[in-house]
Amino acid sequence: MQEIALDAAINSIRVRFGSQALTRAAELPSPQPWPSRTPIDRLTGIGGLPHGRLTLLSGNGTCGKLTFALLLLAGATREFAHAMVIDTGSGFDPWTLLPFYPELGALTVVRAPALDLAGEAATSLARAGAGFLLLMGEIPEHWLGPMESAASRSGTVIVGVVDAPGRAFAHASSLSVGFSRTEWVWEREQLVGLRATARCVKNRVAPPLGETELEIRYPLGAKLLSDYQVRVAEIPSVRVEELECESAVV
């Protein structure tokens, strides 16, 4: 009975305001994928992370989610003109990205001293058409709607990294992947990485496709910091760091 009444209400709205006035979520086309070229692509149902949507990486303790997010970020700098990091207080260090061979000219790090500013920055960057946006932590609930709307129009790929998401952040995500460590990886008595299970917790872009096993290697080696130049520009209450690479030495 309720289903019949709902269908009648939907048809009434479409007759009065036009067929495009209301669309069921199931009738919407799947978002375009950004292939990350990792096993996670098999969990999304579309072959990559969704453009214009929030993808959430979560998991307690050392489970590989942050290392995996850095790998995604490095790949994004090679494929998008603008890859952004919104640091909400985690102390993100751009130099940790260097072993993943990013294109640093495409990377911008925004350090937000307040969560409201982080939400405003994320929304503004998505609206401006940033190709890839990495959220190092949550943003306030009242900014989630504007950020999602801006990303949907621009096609920005948004990835959030948190231990355990709050209710609003979890609800805003279209794709949520939970990480859990299964074992450490040792070579020559040195810790070189970990094996983890990545499970599709939530998927609003396609049918959920279970879980996959990952082997996440920690980056080894270092580059000479003297081969890099760091430009820092101050804007009100938010510091933006842009890094440009002249040459790299392994």
Per residue in 49-77, pLDDT tens?
999 999 999 999 889 999 999 999 999 99
Strand, coil or helix: what is 26? helix
Residues 130 and 180 in one domain: yes
| Structural domain boundaries enclosing 10 | 1-29
Total of domains in the chain: 2
- Specify whether 137 is located in the same domain as 24: no
Domain membership flag for residue 172: yes
The pTM for the full model equals 0.78
pLDDT tens-digit map of 117-168: 999 999 999 999 999 999 999 999 999 999 999 999 999 999 999 999 999 9
Q: Residues 122, 132: contact at Cβ < 8 Å?
A: no
Q: Which residue in this structure is represented by tokens 């990294």? A: 161
pLDDT band at 233 (very low <50, low <70, confident <90, very high): very low
Note whether 173 and 153 are same-domain residues. Answer: yes
Q: Which residue type occupies 138?
A: E
- Which has more pLDDT, 177 or 21? 177
Check residue 118 and give its pLDDT. 93
β-partners of residue 241 are 109, 232
Shared domain check, 61 and 22: no
How many angstroms separate the first and last alpha carbons of the chain?
Answer: 68
| DSSP character string of 164-228 | S--HHHHHH-SEEEEEEEEEEEEETTEEEEEEEEEEEEEESSS----EEEEEEEPP-----GGGE
Q: What is the pLDDT of residues 177-212, one digit of tens each?
A: 999 999 999 988 888 888 999 999 999 988 777 888
Sign of the four-CA dihedral 130, 135, 136, 142: positive
189 and 164 belong to one structural domain: yes
Which range, 98-112, 119-133, 203-217, 219-233, has the best average confidence (pLDDT)? Answer: 119-133
In a domain, 250, yes or no: no
Q: Distance between CA atoms of 45 and 207, rounded to whole angstroms?
A: 6
Do residue 69 and residue 93 come from a single domain? yes
Mean pLDDT of 21-25: 53
The verdict on residue 38 lying in a domain is yes
Residue 191 sits in a domain of what CATH number? 3.40.50.300
Residue 104 included in any domain: yes
Same domain, 18 and 82: no
Provide the pLDDT confidence category of residue 21 given band limits of 50, 70 and 90.
low
